[in-house]
Structure 1
Amino acid sequence: MKDRDLCSYQELHKPKGQFATRSEYLEHELEIMAPKRWGINLPFRDYRFEYEDWVPAMAATIGKIVMVAAIVSTFAAPLGLSDDFVIENVRFEMLIAALLFVVLFSGFLNPTSNLAGTHGPLIPLIPLIVASGGHPMALGIMVGVLGFTLGVFKGGSLLARLTSDGVCGGLLLYLGFIGVTSQIKVLFEWANGFDMGYIAFVVVFATIVMYAYLEHIRLRWLAIPLGCVLAAVISFALGAPFEFETEPGIPNLNPAYWWGEDTGWQLGLPGLHHFVAVFPFAVLAVAMWSPDFLGHRIFQQLNYPHKAQKVLMNIDDTMCVAAARQVVGTALGGGNLASSWGTFLVPAAIAKRPIPAGAMLTGLLCVIAALWGYPMDLAIWPPVLSVALLVGVFLPLLEAGMQMTREGKTSQSAAIVVFSSALVNPVFGWSLTVLLDNMGLVGDKAHSQSLSRLHRWIIPLLVFVVLCGVMLGIGMFPGIPALFESFRLAQ
C-alpha cells in the first residue's frame, strides 16, 4: 500500500458524502493538502474551491478598501491632497494587490504565504512621518528592504519561536479588546453625527445576538456576510444616510503620474534626506510585523486540526512576499504599507479553509470592487465596516487569547503584555514580556529553561533595546519628548 505521505492531494481527496459532517470534510481537506513552496500550485489539482472560501474573500476585500483608504487619506491630509486622489490611489492599490501578488503568490506560487495586506498599527504615526520630512516612496521602499532582510534570514520565525503561549495570548487579548472598543466608538461617533445614536446601539446589540447564535449552532464562519447584511439592513431601515458616489472606471496606471512633481502625490522622487527621515519609522513598522504575523499563525493553529501543519502560514515567506509587494506597490505609485492580511486569514481559519482558494476569490473581488467603484462605497460605510471588523477579526482574537491563557502560568505573561502594551504600544509590550518570560521572571519556567543563553536573554534583550531606542527617538514613550531634534521640532 502506498505511503500516505507520498500520495498526492488528488489521490487522498474524498467526496463530501463520505463524511458525517461538513466540518469533518473541511478538516480532512486541510490534512491532505501539501502545498508546494515556491512551486506551481493549481486549482483542483492541489486544492479545491468551497463556498466557505467566499467568507474570507469578502472580509478581506472590505478590510482592504477600508485600511488602504485609511492609510492613503492619512498621508493625503497633511499633504493637502483631495478625496478624489485618495479614491483613485486606493483603486490602483487594489489592482496591484490583486493582480500582481494575491493571485500570483498566495494562489499559485506559495500558498503558505499569507496575502500581503495593510499595516494598520502604523496609521497613527503617519502625520508625524510627514511632519518629519518623510516621503511615502522612501518609507515604502525602506520598509520593503528591511522586511525582506528579516524574512530571508528567518528572523520572523525565530522571534515567533521565542514567544510563549502566554505572551501570544496576552497580545491577542489586548489587540482584540482595543479593536472591539475602538469599533464601537467609531459606530457611535458615526450615528451621533446625524443625531441618531440609537442606530449604533441597535446594530451592535443585534450583532451580539447574531454572533452568539452562530456560535451556538457552530456556524461562526457566517458571521461576516450575515453581520454585514444585518448591519446594512438595520441602518437603512432606521434611516441612516447612504448614497453611492464612486463611479465605475480604471485608475491611472502610470507610475510617472503618481510620482510627478505636479501630479499624483505632487512630491517628485525622494532624496537621501527623505530616507534618513523615515528610517526610524521603517524599523518600527517591520518590528510590528513579528507579533502581527505570529498572532495570525497562532490563530490558524487554534482552528485547524493538528495534522494540518503543511497548510499553516509560513512567517518568513509571508514577510518576503509582503516586502516585495511593498517595494513594487510603492514604486508603481501606491500609498499602502504592507503587512500580513489579518482580515483574510482570521476568517479563513474560522471557516477551516486554507489560503490559496480564498486568495483567488479575494483577487477577483478586489478587481471587481476597484473597477466597478460602487462596492467601495458600501464597504466603507461605517456600520458595514465596523461590524465586519468586529465579528471577523477582533472578537475571534479575543476568543483565541482567552483560549491560550487558561492556565495560571500563561496568564502571568498575558497580564504583563496587556499592562505594558497599554503603557506604550503592542510592540513595547511584546518585546518586554518576551524578555521577562524567556528569562524566567514571569510565565512558565519550563519554557525558559528549555532555551539556550542566546535565545533566553541575548536576542530578546537586543530586540528590546533596539526597539526602545527607535521609539525613544521618535517620541513614542508617554511623557518623554523625542530624542531626535528633527522629531522634537516636528512635534
Structure 2
Amino acid sequence: MSDVKSSGYQRKHKSRQLFSSRADYLEHELQAMAPKRWRPNYPFRDYRFEWEDLVPATAATIGKIVMVAAIVAAFAAPLGLSDAFVIANVRFEMLIAAVFFVILFSGFLNPNANLAGTHGPLIPLIPLIVASGGHPMALGIMIGILGFILGITKGGSLLAKLTSNGVCGGLLLYLGFIGLMAQIKNLFSWANGFEMGYIAFVVILSVIILYAYLEHMQKRWLAIPLGSGLAAAIALALGAPFEFTTTPGMPNLNPAYWWGTDSGWQLGLPELSHFLAVAPFAVLAVAMWSPDFLGHRVFQQLNYPPKTDKVLMNIDDTMCVAASRQVVGSVLGGGNIASSWGTYIIPASIAKRPIPAGAVLTGILCIVAALWGYPMDLAVWPPVLSVALMVGVFIPLLEAGMQMTREGKTTQSAAIVIFSSVLVNPVFGWSLTVLLDNLGIIGCKERGKTLGHIGRWIVPGIVFLVLCLVMAAIGMFPGVPPFLPSFRGIA
C-alpha cells in the first residue's frame, strides 16, 4: 500500500548541504521529481520552492502583460476601442490565467503541462481577422475546440516526433533571429521618438555585456530580471520619459459586460457568420502550436540533465490545457489567444527548474500585477519589454537552434526551413521542410526509411496540403491573391 503522506519525491530528495554545488542540487531535484498527470501534486510533498523559481515567474509575468496587451491592442485598434479598454481587458485576462489555469493546472493537477500563455506569431494577422468579419469570442472558441481535438488525439506529439533536429533547429534559429531584430528595431523606434536614439544603443550594448558575463558565470537564468532592471536604470538615468498611469483596482468580472453591444468589446455575442470568418485563422493558429510546443520541449531537453524525462513538458497535455484556457477565457470576455508560455518555460529551463513551483509563483505575481496596476506600466515600458524578450526568449532560441544543428546533415534541413519561412511564414517553412526531410530529399536519408509510409509522406503531406489550402484561402502567399472572395481586397 502506498504511503499517502510520503511521495517518491520525498524519499529521493536530498538536502542542499549534501551537494558540492547548487547546480548539482538543482539537477538532482529534476531527477528526483515524478509528477502525477491529472492528479493532485502538492507543494513540499511532490515538489519544493527554490529562489530560482522567481526568475521564470518574474519573466513570465512581464511577458504575460506584454503579449496579452499586444493581442488585445491589435483587436482594439481596428474596432476603435480605447487604451483604457486594453488595460482593463489585460488585467481581466491575467486573473483568468492565474486563478483557473496557471495555479490550478500547471501548479497542482498536471505539472507536465506548460503554462497556457499567448500566441505571439498570430498578432500580425489580427487586423486581417477583424477586417474579414471575425469576432474574438468566435476565434477563441474555434481555436480551443481544434486544439483540444489535436491534444486528445495526440496529434501534437506525433507531429513533434516527425520533426527532425535539423528542422527544429532551423525553426528556432529563424524565430530567434527575427524576434531579436524586431525588438532591437522597436527599441530604437521608441528612443528616436523623443530624439534620444543613443539611449537604445547604450541599453542594448550594456545588456550584451551583461549577458556575456552571465554566460561566463553560468548564471544566464538571471538575464531577465538583471537585464530588464539594468535597461530601466540606464534609460531613466539618461532621461527617458516614464510615468505610472495604471492605478490599483479590480477589473470588471462580468462576461455580460465584456460581450455587451454597448459595453466592453461592443460586439455582442458571435453569430454563425463570425465563426465562418475566423475558421481559416483558427486552423492556422492551431497548426502553429506544434512547432512552437516542440521548440519549448526541445529547449527543456537541451538544458536539463539526463534521467529527467518525467519532468519534461508533455506536448499533448499542454495543448489540452491551452485549448481549455482559450475557450474559458474567450467565453468570459478575454481577448487573449493561447499557446505554450515561452517566456516561462525558456527561463525555467535555463534555471533548471521544473514547471509546478514557478507556475504557482507566476500565478501569484500575475494576480498582484493585475490588482496593483502599477507593475503593468513598468512591464510594457519599451526598455523593460524589449530587453526581457531579447535575453529571455530570442537569444536562448538562437543558442538552442545552433546547438541542434551542429552535427550530421542537420544544416541542410535548417537552411531550407529558414529559407521557406522567410518566403511565407514559419508554419509554411516547418510543414514543407518536414515533408522534404522525411522523404529523404534533404537531411539524413536513413532517418526517413525508419518512419514508414505514414510518418514519411502521408501525415507530413496531408499537413502540408491542408496548411497550404488555408494560407492560400486567406492570402498569405506573397503575390498570390486569396481564393476566398471574402478575403480579396483585405489581405
Q: TM-score, normalised by structure 2?
A: 0.98
> In 2, distance between residues paired with 1:186 and 1:444?
39
The gaps in structure 2 that reach 5 residues or longer are none
Measure, in 2, the Cα distance between the counterparts of 1:458 and 1:479.
29
Q: CA separation in 1, counterparts of 2:444 and 2:250?
A: 55
Matching residue of 2:139: 139
Alignment of 1:362-373 (within 5 A): 362-373=362-373
Aligned to 2:230: 230
Q: Write the distance in 2 (CA, Å) between the matches of 1:108 and 1:26.
A: 20
Instruction: Describe the superposition over 1:374-407 as per-residue Cα deviations: whole angstroms up to 9, x where unpaired.
Output: 0000000000011101110000000000000002
Amino acid at match of 1:202: V
Matched residue of 1:436: which SS? helix
Once the two structures are TM-superposed, the CA of residue 246 in structure 1 deviates from its matched residue by 0.1
Taking the aligned partners of 1:180 and 1:84, their CA distance within structure 2 comes to 29
Distance 1:7 1:60, change over 3 A: closer
What is the match of residue 217 of structure 1?
A: 217
Q: Does residue 181 of structure 1 match 2:186? A: no
8 Å contact 2:118–2:336 — kept in the other structure? yes
Aligned to 2:118: 118
| Equivalent residue number for residue 450 of structure 2 | 450
Q: State the Cα distance separating 1:236 from its structure 2 match.
A: 0.4
SS of equivalent to 2:488: helix
Other-structure match for 2:31 = 31
Alignment pair present for 1:391 and 2:391: yes
The CA deviation at 1:417 is 0.5
Alignment match, 2:410: 410
Letter in 1 for 2:85: F
Give 1:447 shift. Answer: 1.3
Partner residue, 1:277: 277
CA deviations on 1:393-428 (whole Å, 9 max, x unpaired) are 000000000000002400100000100000000000
**How far apart, CA to CA, are the structure 2 residues paired with 1:172 and 1:447?**
21
Matches within 5 A, 1:75-474: 75-474=75-474
Whole-angstrom CA distance in 1 between matches of 2:286 and 2:7: 39
Measured in 2, the distance between the counterparts of 1:294 and 1:58 equals 23
Which whole-Å CA distance do the structure 2 matches of 1:28 and 1:232 have between them? 36
**Aligned to 1:406, what secondary structure does the other structure show?**
coil
Per the TM alignment, residue 238 of structure 1 is displaced from its structure 2 partner at its CA by: 0.2
Question: Where has structure 1 moved over 3 Å in runs of 4 or more?
Answer: none
Q: Which residue does the alignment assign to 2:72?
A: 72
- 1:80 positional shift: 0.6
Query: How much has 1:7 moved relative to structure 2?
Result: 7.0
Q: 1:321-346 CA distances to partner (integer Å, 9 max, x unpaired)?
A: 00000000000000000000000000
Q: Return the alpha-carbon distance in structure 2 between the equivalents of residues 454 and 350 of structure 1.
A: 35
Q: In structure 2, what is the Cα distance between the partners aligned to 1:85 and 1:63? A: 19
**CA–CA separation in structure 2 for the residues paired with 1:149 and 1:8:** 33
Give how far 1:128 is off. Answer: 0.5
Moved more, 446-455 or 337-346: 446-455
SS, match of residue 490 in structure 1: coil
Counterpart Cα distance in 2 of 1:180 and 1:129? 26
- Residue type of the partner of 1:92? F
CA offsets, 1:351-376, max 9 Å, x none? Answer: 00000000000000000000000000
State the 1:158 CA deviation: 0.2
Give SS of 2:409's match: helix
How many residues matched?
A: 487
Asked if 1:482 corresponds to 2:463, the answer is no
1:490 is displaced (CA, Å) by: 3.0
Quote the Cα distance in structure 1 between the aligned partners of 2:394 and 2:47: 29
Partner of 2:54: 54
- Contact preservation (8 Å) 2:37, 2:111: yes
Q: Does the 8 A contact of 2:135 with 2:274 survive in 1?
A: yes
Deviations 1:433-455 (A, max 9, x none): 00000000001112111111111
Counterpart of 1:210, as a letter, is: L
* SS state at 2:158 partner: helix
The AA in structure 2 aligned to 1:254 is N
- CA–CA distance in 2 between the matches of 1:261 and 1:343? 35
Give the partner amino acid of 1:61.
Answer: T
Range with greater deviation from structure 2 (404-413 or 417-426): 404-413
SS of the residue aligned with 1:112?
A: coil
Contact conserved, 2:211 with 2:223, CA < 8 A, in 1? yes
CA contact (8 A) 2:303 2:349 kept: yes
Q: CA separation in 1, counterparts of 2:292 and 2:490? A: 29
- Quote how far apart the aligned CAs of 1:83 are: 0.6
Shift in CA distance, 17/276, structure 1 to aligned 2, threshold 3 Å = same
Distance in structure 2 (CA, Å) of the matches to 1:159 and 1:381: 37
Query: How far apart are the structure 1 equivalents of 2:74 and 2:362?
Result: 25
The Cα offsets for residues 234-264 of structure 1, whole Å up to 9 and x where unpaired, read as: 0000000000000000000000000001110
Q: Secondary structure at the match of 1:411?
A: helix
After TM superposition, give the deviation of residue 489 of structure 1 in Å: 3.8
Name the amino acid aligned to 2:298: I
- Structure 2 match to 1:42: 42
CA offsets per residue over residues 104-153 of structure 1, 9 Å max, x none? 00000000000000000000000010000000000000000000000010
**Equivalent-residue separation in structure 1 for 2:342 and 2:23 (angstroms):** 22
Q: Deviations over 1:159-185 (max 9, x none)?
A: 000000000100000000001100000
Q: Give, in whole Å, the separation in 2 of the partners of 1:447 and 1:208.
A: 39
1:486, 1:382 → 2: CA distance?
Answer: 37
Percent same amino acid at aligned positions? Answer: 76
Q: Which amino acid aligns with 1:331?
A: V
Give the counterpart letter for 1:283 in structure 2: V
CA RMSD of aligned residues (A): 1.0
TM-score by length of 1: 0.98
Letter in 2 for 1:453: H
